[in-house]
Amino acid sequence: MDYTIENGKYYKVLGADGKLITFGELSEGEVLSTNDNVEFISKEEFEQLNPL
């Protein structure tokens, strides 16, 4: 399935077992394509996953 910033800005991708595969931030014009489960998350949760 394809996702864009219209679906949400911050996301995490989970495997079938519920384990985190990756996370990220979508920008205008970018497309996230995956068959895995995608959850759109808050900026706060994104910052907790990415404490830079």
Predicted structure pTM score: 0.89
Q: Which residues lie closer than 8 Å to 24 by C-beta, 6 or more apart?
A: 10, 11, 32
pLDDT of 52 over the 80 cut? no
Which two structure tokens, joined as six digits, stand for 30? 């970018």
Instruction: Render pLDDT for 5-29 as a digit per residue (tens, 0 to 9).
Output: 999 999 999 999 999 999 999 999 9
pLDDT at 50: 87
Say if residues 27 and 5 touch (Cβ distance below 8 Å): yes
pLDDT at 51: 79
d(CA 36, CA 52): 26
Which two structure tokens, joined as six digits, stand for 14? 């989970």
